[in-house]
Structures are given as structure tokens and as C-alpha cells.
Structure 1
Amino acid sequence: MDNRNNKEENLDNSRITPEMLKSRTGEFDLESILFLKLRGAGIHELGCIGECLNLERLDLSNNHITHLAPLSSLKMMVALNLSCNRISSLEPLASCDSLQTLNVAGNMLCSVDSLQCLKGLRKLESIRLRDPVYNLSNPFCLNGSYRPAVLETIPSVRVIDGDRVTGTGSDLYHLCRDIDNSLKRFITSNGTVELAGSIKPWVEEGFWDIKPPQSTIIEETYKQFNDILRECKELTKRADDAISQAERALNIRSDTNSYVF
């Protein structure tokens, strides 16, 4: 009888159910779940996961998942970890418009063409297809030249397998370097004059009275700093929301280990 009960329990755990999600998060409404960690839970089927419409971060790593269809309704999802599963198609993720970070290392993706469905995800900046630390990969990663193909397939990607390939980081460095050089030049009535030997100290009073010429470099840098500031504000808001949710969950359940992330 005990063996039979154990088998039934394992069968129940292989499929995501509302009871499982409510038990793990302490939430009574599936749409209230923002973060969910189901790592190594023995899951075969995603079940009702698609009902968590406001889910932003989801960890389904180290399971036995093959089909991702229920994930297609998760329009708010920002980060998704599907590493170490049995996935051969990412097609349902094509509608996850908010996705920024995706980990699919350790699956069964046989061709770069399997990433074509992600081409329209304009916010997707980081993708992990191979993880040497945990010895995880995909069949098409055996070809050492897969990274250029990934960049061509998903133009928005800035980080592949944890390595930055391009992006605002390096661009901003070059812009700041150019501005630093431009501060040594000032416009006079006779044209451009080199003032490298007589530039005033950075903090000297009145230093900013002399303005460098306006240029597209300065305008672009100003725009990028504003973008970064806006992203920081958004991250701060998300962090505040996460802390509020954690506090609510901890008040509901005394077992802190049941809360995710």
C-alpha cells in the first residue's frame, strides 16, 4: 500500500498543479505569483503554469520537461531558466515578448534554426546555450562557430553563454573616451585650438564656464546615461515589489524554505 501511495504522489508531482504552486508560494491566486522556483522538482508536464499570467521570473531547471506550450501565455516573463531538461523546440516562447534572459543549456536543440522563433523577441539580451561549469550543452554547440550564427539569428542578443559580445557597455566606454579627448579642444574665432597643456583642474571654480562644442557624441552619451538611469529606476521598483511579496508570503507561512528566490 505504501509503495502504491508513493507512486501516486510521484505522479502528482510530475505535473504542475494549482495546489503545488499555492503550496510552494503561499499565494491563493495564481496570477499573484511573480517569482517561481521549481528546480529539480521531477516535473514532466507544465500543467497550469500558463495561468500565472504575471509571472516574471521562472526557474524550471533540472526537470524532465519536453514541451513548453503552456509558457506561451506568460507575456510578463523576464527571466526563464530551462537548463537541464529534454527540450527540442522553443517555439512557444515566441510570444513571450518581455523575455530578457533565457537559459536553455543542457537540452536537445539540434540546430541554430531552432532559435529562429526567438528572432522577434526584441528585449532578449542574454541567452545561455552551453554551461561548461555544469557540463551542460546542446547538440549544435559542438560546432565551435555557433555563436556568430546565434547573433545573426537573434540580433538583440548582447550576451551568449555569459560572455558579452557587444552592447552598451563597450559602446559607452568608447563614447566616454572620445568625450575625454574632446575636452582638450575648444573652439575659438580662429578655429580649433589645442589646450592640452593649459586645461584647468577638474574641480576648479569656473571650469564649466568653458563649454566644449556640441557634438553627436555628447548627445548620444547623454541619451545613454538617461536610458541607464531609467533602467535603474525600473529595477528599483521591481526590487521593492519583490520585497513586498516576500514579506507577505513570510507572514502567511512560517516555513521560510517554502518561498522561492
Structure 2
Amino acid sequence: MEPDCEKPAEAEGVRVTPQMLRSRSGEFALESILLLKLRGLGLVDLGCLGQCLGLEWLDLSGNALAQLGPLASLRQLAVLNVANNRLRGLEPLAACENLQSLNVAGNLLATPSQLQCLGGLRSLEHLRLRDPLARLSNPLCASPSYGAAVLELLPGLKVIDGERVTGRGSELYQLCRDLDRSLWPNSSLGPSSSAGPGAHKAQPWVEPGYWESQPVRSSSILEEACRQFQDTLQECHELDRQARDSLARAAQALSPMGAASSFVF
């Protein structure tokens, strides 16, 4: 009965066991586990985690993992967080055909080519290699052009490091710049550009009368930029509503008896 999973924890770290999985999930059958949080446990070996065939959401961040072999059998896995580990390769994830979101910030990935194994994952849209807030990165992020190189390898990505790279959302910053240039045609920095190079300050946005300081001009470019800005803003509101609904449903599913959920999204 599960001989490979009953080995004791290795001296230098912790190994995933059936007992750990059952206690963490509340499920007796490993195949029934859908969501699992194994963050910061000192894991060095994923042990029998590959037996959780129904797993859809998995957090392995903050451990000491150097390889992800057992994850190759998790065909239903959609969200995976392996940030802050010791990974030098992601090859086992090539078999996770339903993977949609992957966080590998804070590992040892040195070149974009190490992501090539993810090229067959058609559902993969979100990839995080760097997390400035948590001060996590990968060696490959030292190159200023790493984002473009990653997108060339994985053209299906929509979001890299939290920034939308395809779709209307990726154009939001450019739309804001277009609006500024239309309002202040003689300046690349707005009305305070006389302050000299590097004077990117917030004053133009907070000074009284800023929005009324220029006469209204008829401009198809400005009108289209405003329209796209409003459409994008509306889309953000809708995504926020959907996210809140999803979180509410997840919390209800994880706490059928009204108990507080132990999962943090």
C-alpha cells in the first residue's frame, strides 16, 4: 500500500506523505483533493503528491524543491505556485496540459530556453518570473529584454509578471500617454516639463483646475483614446466582480460547515 510514500522524511528536509496530504486537505482519498496549500514546510521531496490526480490548485511556495517530477501526472492542475524554491528546470510541467497560471519567481532559472518545455501548454496564460514586492526573481530576469524573449517562446501568454502583454489591457499605459500628449501637445511630460529632465512628478494630476486648464479640442484620436480607456476601465470592473464572485464560491466550497477556510488565495 503506497510503499513509496511511507518513507520517513529525509534528514535534510521534509518529504510529502499521504498523512501530510490528508491532514492538510481533510480528504481521505488522495484522488479527491482539489486544492492544496503546502507553503513553507521545508519540502525537498514531493513524494506521493503525484497521486492527487484531481488536483487543480497547488501552492508549493517557500520550500526547498529542486525538481517537480511527481507533478507530471497532475493533468487537471490549473494553478501552480512554486515561487521561492531551488528549481533549475520545469520539464515535468510539460505534461500538465490544463495549466493556466504558473508562479516560478524566486528560483534558479537562468535562460528563457528553460521555459521552452512549457510551449505545448495551450491553456497557459499567466506566468510570473519576478515578484518585486516579495523581492523574488530568477537569474534570467537580469536581462532587460527577458520579457520579449519569454513571449517569443510562449506566444500564448497574456500576463507576464503581473503585467498584461496581449489584449486591450496591455495598451492601457499607452492610452494614458496618448491622452496626455493630446492634452499637452507641446510637452512629453505634461505642463510641468519645464522642471527639466527626470521631472516625472504627480503634480499635474493633483493641481486644482488641471482638467479644466486646456480648451476642449475636437480630436478623433483623443475621442478614440477616451473610448478605449473607458472600455478598459469597464472591463477591469467586470473582472473584479467576477474575481469576487469566484472567491466567494471558493470560500463556500471550502467551508461547507461554515468553518473558516485554511486556504489563502
Q: Same fold (TM over 0.5)?
A: yes
Distance in 2 (CA, whole Å) between partners of 1:237 and 1:31 is 23
Give the equivalent residue in structure 2 for 1:43.
43
Question: For the residues of structure 1 that align with 2:12 and 2:21, how far apart are their CA atoms?
Answer: 12
Counterpart in the other structure of 1:109 = 109
Identity of aligned residues (%): 51
Partners of 1:26 and 1:249 within 8 A in 2: no
**1:142 and 2:151 are equivalent in the alignment:** no
Distance of aligned partners of 1:249 and 1:46 in 2 relative to their CA distance in 1, 3 Å threshold: farther
Letter in 2 for 1:88: R
Amino acid at match of 1:81: N
Shift of 1:134: 1.6
Letter in 1 for 2:77: M
Shift of 1:105: 0.6
Change in Cα spacing, 1:9 to 1:73, as seen in structure 2 (3 Å) is closer
Residue in 1 aligned with 2:255?
Answer: 246
Q: Report deviation, 1:61.
A: 0.4
- The residue aligned with 1:63 is 63
Q: Deviations over 1:203-260 (max 9, x none)?
A: xxxxxxxxxxxxxxxxxxxxxx9xx99xx6xx9689646623431694xxxxx57x33
Q: Deviations over 1:37-62 (max 9, x none)?
A: 11101100011111111111111001
**Paired residue for 2:17?**
17
- Asked if 2 retains the 8 angstrom alpha-carbon contact of 1:83 and 1:105, the reply is yes
Which of structures 1 and 2 has the larger relative contact order (alpha carbons within 8 angstroms, sep 6+)?
A: 1
Residue of structure 2 equivalent to 1:167: 167
Is the 1:27–1:249 contact (alpha carbons within 8 Å) kept by the matching residues of 2?
no
CA distance in 2, matches of 1:132, 1:236: 28
* Residues 1:112 and 1:242: Cα distance change in structure 2 (over 3 Å): same
Post-superposition shift, 1:92?
0.4
Cross-structure match for 1:130 = 130
One-letter amino acid of the structure 1 residue matched with residue 263 of structure 2 = V
The structure with the largest alpha-carbon Rg is 1
The count of residues paired between Structure 1 and Structure 2 equals 194
Deviations 1:95-123, CA, capped at 9 Å, x for gaps: 11111111001101111100000011111
SS at match of 1:244: helix
How far the C-alpha of 1:31 sits from its partner, in A, is 1.3
Q: Distance in 1 between matches of 2:256 and 2:68?
A: 31
- What amino acid is aligned across from residue 47 of structure 1 in structure 2? G
Is contact 2:103–2:127 with CA below 8 Å preserved after alignment?
yes
TM-score, normalised by the number of residues in structure 1: 0.65
Deviation at 1:34, TM superposition (A): 1.0
User: 4+ runs of 1 displaced by more than 3 Å?
Assistant: 8-13, 168-171, 235-242
Q: What SS does the corresponding residue of 1:44 show, helix, strand or coil?
A: strand
Distance 1:73 1:248 in 2: 31
- Mapped to 2, the partners of 1:68 and 1:9 lie a distance apart of 17
Give the distance between the partners of 1:51 and 1:12, measured in 2 at CA. 24
The amino acid across from 1:244 in the alignment is A
Query: In structure 1, how many angstroms separate the alpha carbons of the residues matched to 2:101 and 2:51?
Result: 21
SS of aligned partner of 2:43: coil
Q: What letter is aligned with 1:21? A: L
Secondary structure at the aligned position of 2:255 is classed as helix
Question: Is this contact kept in 1: 2:86–2:108, CA < 8 A?
Answer: yes
Instruction: Give, in angstroms, the shift of residue 167 of structure 1.
Output: 2.1
Distance 1:12 1:21 in 2: 20
* 1:260 corresponds to which of 251, 254, 263: 263
The answer as to whether partners of 1:24 and 1:260 remain within 8 angstroms in 2 is no
Q: 1:260 to 1:77 in 2, by over 3 A?
A: same
The offset of 1:124, in angstroms, is: 0.7
Does structure 2 conserve the Cα–Cα contact (< 8 Å) formed by 1:54 and 1:76?
A: yes
